[in-house]
Amino acid sequence: MAGVIVLDASVVIAYLDAHDAHHRRAVTLLEHAADDELAMSALTLAEVLVAPARAGRLDDVHASVAELGIIEQPLPHGSAVRLAARRARTGLRMPDCCVLLAAEEASAALATFDDRLAREAAAAGIEVLRS
């Protein structure tokens, strides 16, 4: 594909946890994305790192994320209005709105295992990768 793929937290969490129900799918998805640039919204990356921080494993998990080559995308200037409008319109949680904004800003495909997020992304014209 050789493009940009924005990752939802569900994909990265599953990839990092061999016991996660979606682990195999996440591994396959990221193997197929080897030639692509991987990105995550800063808020999404923070979401991935919360549980490891609680468990005292923040540095290890952050290093694993860095090894995947994931680029942290900051929220663009003026995003508050866009995020609020999307949340009001779709009812998605704010982290999911940030994922969609990141994909739009990067003109990227979106990788997620979240059915509702996938539907909203497709409705917004964003290519959805689910492995």
Q: What is the pLDDT of residues 62-111, one digit of tens each?
A: 999 999 999 999 999 999 999 999 999 999 999 999 999 999 999 999 99
pLDDT at 57: 95
List pLDDT tens digits, range 49-61.
999 999 999 999 9
Full residue range of the structural domain in which residue 88 is found: 4-129
| CATH code, domain carrying 33 | 3.40.50.1010
Per the structure, how many domains does the chain have? 1
Strand bridging mode 71-73 / 4-7? unpaired
DSSP annotation string for 6-64: EEPHHHHHHHH-TTSTTHHHHHHHHHHTTTSEEEEEHHHHHHHHHHHHHTT-HHHHHHH
pLDDT at 2: 60
Kindly report the pTM of this predicted structure: 0.93
pLDDT at 131: 74
